[in-house]
Copies of this chain bind each other. A is one copy, B any other.
Amino acid sequence: MPQVSSRGVAMPMSPYRKLTPYADAAKARGTKVYHLNIGQPDIETPPAVMAAVQQANIRVLEYSHGAGNLSYRQKLAQYYQRVGIEVSATEIIVTAGGSEAILFAFLSCLNPGDEVIVPEPYYGAYTAFAIAAGVHIVPVTAHIETGFALPPIAELEARITVRTKAVLLCNPNNPTGYVYTRRELEELLALCERHHLFLLSDEAYREFCYDAPYVSALHLGPAAEEHVVLLDTISKRYSACGARIGALVTKNKAVYDAAFKFAQMRVSPPGLAQLLGEAAAELPETYFDHTKAEYQTRRDRMVQRLQAIPGVQCPVPGGAFYVMPSLPIDDAERFAKWLLEEFEHLGQTVMLSPATGFYATPGIGRQEVRLAYVLSLEAIDAAMDCLAKALEIYPGRQQ
């Protein structure tokens, strides 16, 4: 019998998936489960945007340009210009979600065996893309005590080897919600300049910054242009995760040319969803005012509720729609399973993401969890009531 590849075996199973059978069982028992574990927005996909697809007159659904329809890229360039990122249509490759942008960036910037430095905790799928592309993630640990700020540059610099080709930063951060400051980004760019590294900047949550203005890696001036590869998606911005439309944006011509060849390999990005993306790029700025205000209210409520629970340490995340508290527990995976298997409060429980799935370094983050506030204030209150109650009686409670 033929044998599957070792990389297929080495690929991590999504941490979310490990808990799903327990959540299903809880639901089967009649328990309501609040899903704080996934970043699937509940906000409505803008109806005008859906209508653009649904009213389009399409006789033959043809391949689009390998980099995406020019008309979409032109409107996307205008969107970027509105947020202070000066790029043109020829510096954009439309991708199948932010996911494909990550893959193309790894393939274009790194060779097999090369290393990319990533502050941890980080979005778990980076590990999977690294395995697919044959590259190694070198983690540098951020700490809850600093609100998961960028670790000192010296710590990143100490990890650089001859194989290091890039630093990958998610800003605003998933899973921590941390928003990097201009000073942190400038220090990081200087590091990349000193060591000839790419700065891969995943800005999927750009629109969701609550306390300070958002700074993009492409806001850092001409010095950034050769280094920065921006990874983007409309998934969170317009509540359109299922569309699978993202973008790789770079002013580095060699990276663009390489990435475009990988884009040609799969002929074109999803066609119907590009129509959706194009309509979304024309939404007025006020669209974000509304969604941002909604998320900010939820963040404030969730943080306030968490900070009121004895033994919980919860930094205030400046962006995205996640909080990453430390709980007074022995082990987040065990606690998450216990919540689904053995606990209920008024017929309800919560599903959360143990932070260990976001750390590459074994054994750390065992008291931390990621909670997504993609549900209503009422649901957040109910979920926090559950969590507070659970922490009172959890057998593995620790101080």
Asked if B111 and A5 make an inter-chain contact with CB atoms under 8 angstroms apart, the answer reads: yes
CB contacts (< 8 Å) of A42 on chain B: these are 60
B59–A5 CB distance below 8 A: no
Which one, B14, B114, B258, B273, contacts A273 given CB within 8 A?
A: B273
The size bracket of the interface on A is: 35 or more
Chain A residues 1-16 with CB under 8 Å of chain B are: 1-9, 11-14
In the complex, A27 has a CB within 8 A of chain B: no
Q: Report which of B7, B109, B273 forms a contact with A2, defined as CB distance below 8 A.
A: B109
- Cα distance A267–B129 in the bound complex, in angstroms: 12
Does A242 have its Cβ within 8 Å of any Cβ on chain B?
yes
Q: Distance (Å) between the CB of A122 and the closest chain B CB?
A: 14
Task: Confirm or deny: A346 has a beta carbon within 8 angstroms of a beta carbon on chain B.
Answer: no
Specify which of B110, B112, B243, B258 is in contact with A11 (CB 8 Å cutoff). B258
Report whether A242 and B63 are in contact in the complex, using a CB–CB cutoff of 8 Å.
yes
Interface locus among A48-56, A209-217, A355-363, A390-398 = A48-56
* B242→A271 contact, CB < 8 A: yes
Q: Are A268 and B242 in contact (CB under 8 A)?
A: yes
Q: Is the CB of B59 within 8 A of A44?
A: yes
Collect the chain B residues with CB atoms within 8 Å of residue A8's CB. 107-109, 254-255, 257-259, 261-262
Q: Does A291 contact B (CB under 8 A)?
A: no
Distance of A323 from chain B, by nearest CB (Å)? 21
Q: Are B4 and A254 in touch, CB under 8 angstroms?
A: yes
CA distance A54 to B52 in the complex (A): 10
Evaluate contact between B4 and A62: CB separation under 8 angstroms.
no
CB within 8 A of A112: which of B134, B198, B264?
A: B134
Asked whether, in the complex, the Cβ of A258 is within 8 Å of the Cβ of B4, the reply is: yes
Contact status A99-B196, CB under 8 Å: no
Collect the chain B residues with CB atoms within 8 Å of residue A54's CB: 53-56
**A contact residues vs B (CB 8 Å cutoff):** 1-9, 11-14, 17, 40-45, 50, 53-56, 58-64, 66, 96-97, 99-100, 103, 107-112, 114, 125, 128-129, 132, 134, 165-166, 192, 196-198, 226-227, 239-244, 252, 254-255, 257-259, 261-262, 264-273, 276
